[in-house]
Structure 1
Amino acid sequence: MQELYPYIFKRKSFHRFGPFEPFTQQEKASLVEHFASVVPLDASIKTKILLVPIGQTTCKRGECCILIYSEQRGAYLKNAGYMGAQLDLLLAGKDIGCCWYGVGKPAQEVYDGLRFVIMLAIAKQESSSFRKDYTKAKRKPVDEIWQGEAMPSVAEVVRYTPSACNTQPWLVQKEGQHLKVFRVSGKRGIMSKTLVLYYNRIDMGIFLCYLELCLDHERVSSTRSLAYHDPACTRQYVCAEYTIG
């Protein structure tokens, strides 16, 4: 996955797409081929990634949607977020704009026995429309997402992780050779508590992907241990722990 790291600084959320040229059939086929290279957080969870025109969804932006389906067990939402984060960065590297379209629904809620989880709206965009100064993105400051011993080269970058519903519900605590990653509660705006809990678990998968990219970039070896919690849990809890070297 390390080849995705540079695109952390390029990607942005395309809430509005500029004019775009449609994908050719060859370009669509190439994208689908890349789906196979996506690394899961939990390989035991069955997933499927589809590329469909927006007309097969309720999405009204972009040209196509990437649909992530999964069996519903364990950390399946974190797993979907972890996989979607890789797709988001991969697309940025190809000058394809992307938006995590949380409110969207596909025409097909179930595919091959797997339930729909989330979609990414996409369209080709001019290279100039991507982020030029990533520090202008609105993100929590380091002291709100990192506690304990400092790892500034990691913390300063990982805080730019995108959030499916923009709540940025993550916190890292470092003690010695151990990192604990927490899901924390925060403001949810007009979104219902149930939906926030749902998207926060996807967000945590996105964050774990970015954290691991940052650790790898700094040549910090790590061993991950995932934790699973009741989906209805609203309090702060540990999502994952890392032993680093």
Structure 2
Amino acid sequence: MNLEDTIYKRQSIRLYDDTPLDNQTLNEIRNFIENAKVLNPNIKWSYDILSTKNIRTIMRWKAPHYLVLFSEEKENYYQNIGFIFQQVDLFLQSKEIGTCWIGMASPKKYKNEDKNQKFIITIAFGKSPNNIKREINQFKRKDLDEISDKSDEKLVPAKLAPSASNSQPWYFTHNDDGSYDLYRVKLGIIRNKFVGKWNKIDTGIALAHLYVSNRDSFKFYKKDSPKELKGYYYDGSFII
């Protein structure tokens, strides 16, 4: 199954076999990561693959492997991490390897060689005894007209993207030239404390789905003076 098809089948997995993946598979994953498309080439980022014993988490379930992700703090750095590693998520699931983004997990006693990069988030992955695919009618997502100023089938891949607590914080507007503006919902104080920074990653994840579905035409950019939308932050613009 290719990455675009996987968008319509993937789901977050929370049950894994204890058996680690073989070295050949892990090297294939590393190779894919090194060649993934980035949202902002001016941001330095890095990752590592750690085992369960090197992860601190409150989750009751465990996975044999964890991607720990790091980045410089620059404009759209959360979105950049979401964009890059959702491509990785799709790659893994296309290979029948389960994945789950985890906000409540971090590496134990880990020092990144680049002191300017901070830890961002973790992705659990590994083989699962369960079926890791689902049917399109099993997705619990907002309708297109709830996430956009008009119902647009081109936005279905973004609609199906995973998000923190399934919050689906994105909103899209259409421009006369055929481009789109992407906004992220503003949260209240309490909710922002729990999922605010993850929602920045979420919009990057949604953009990754749009890129995978429109590889030849996708282009992301930031406007100097974007239109303000009440109740939302501007996260960028794109062409598909």
TM-score (normalised: structure 2): 0.85
> How far does the alpha carbon of each residue in 1:136-195 deviate from its partner, in whole angstroms, 9 at most, with x for none?
1111111111213x432x22332111103321100111133121111013689xx75233
- For residues 172-211 of structure 1, the aligned pairs below 5 Å read 172-176=172-176, 177-185=178-186, 192-211=191-210
- For residues 85-124 of structure 1, the aligned pairs below 5 Å read 85-108=86-109, 110-112=111-113, 113=115, 114-124=117-127
> How far does the alpha carbon of each residue in 1:208-229 deviate from its partner, in whole angstroms, 9 at most, with x for none?
111223344xx7x34321369x
Q: What CA distance in whole angstroms lies between the structure 1 residues aligned with 2:156 and 2:31?
A: 33
3-state SS in 1 of match to 2:234: strand
> Structure 1: 5+ residue runs without aligned partners?
229-233
* Alignment of 1:143 onto 2:145: yes
* Alignment of 1:27 onto 2:30: no
Q: What CA distance in whole angstroms lies between the structure 1 residues aligned with 2:134 and 2:68?
A: 28
Contact 1:169 / 1:186 at 8 angstroms: preserved in 2? no
Q: What CA distance in whole angstroms lies between the structure 2 residues aligned with 1:227 and 1:237?
A: 13
Q: Which one of 202, 214, 239 corresponds to residue 235 of structure 2?
A: 239
> Structure 2: 5+ residue runs without aligned partners?
225-229
Q: What CA distance in whole angstroms lies between the structure 1 residues aligned with 2:209 and 2:237?
A: 15
Q: What CA distance in whole angstroms lies between the structure 2 residues aligned with 1:227 and 1:70?
A: 23
Question: What's the % identity of the aligned pairs?
Answer: 25
Contact 1:57 / 1:107 at 8 angstroms: preserved in 2? yes
* Alignment of 1:168 onto 2:147: no
- Report runs of 4+ in structure 1 exceeding 3 Å deviation: 18-21, 185-188
Q: Which residue of 2 aligns with 1:157?
A: 157
Greater CA drift, 16-25 or 168-177: 16-25
Q: What CA distance in whole angstroms lies between the structure 2 residues aligned with 1:223 and 1:27?
A: 31
Q: What CA distance in whole angstroms lies between the structure 1 residues aligned with 2:157 and 2:42?
A: 30
- Closer/same/farther in 2, CA of residues 31 and 156 from structure 1, 3 Å limit: closer
Q: What CA distance in whole angstroms lies between the structure 1 residues aligned with 2:168 and 2:135?
A: 20
Q: What CA distance in whole angstroms lies between the structure 2 residues aligned with 1:6 and 1:80?
A: 22
Q: What CA distance in whole angstroms lies between the structure 2 residues aligned with 1:46 and 1:89?
A: 22
Q: CA deviation at 1:98?
A: 0.4
Contact 2:105 / 2:121 at 8 angstroms: preserved in 1? yes
The number of residue pairs the alignment matches comes to 228
Give the counterpart letter for 1:39 in structure 2: K
- Closer/same/farther in 2, CA of residues 140 and 36 from structure 1, 3 Å limit: same
Q: What CA distance in whole angstroms lies between the structure 2 residues aligned with 1:214 and 1:147?
A: 21
Q: What CA distance in whole angstroms lies between the structure 1 residues aligned with 2:16 and 2:82?
A: 26
Q: What CA distance in whole angstroms lies between the structure 1 residues aligned with 2:109 and 2:197?
A: 20
* Alignment of 1:125 onto 2:128: yes
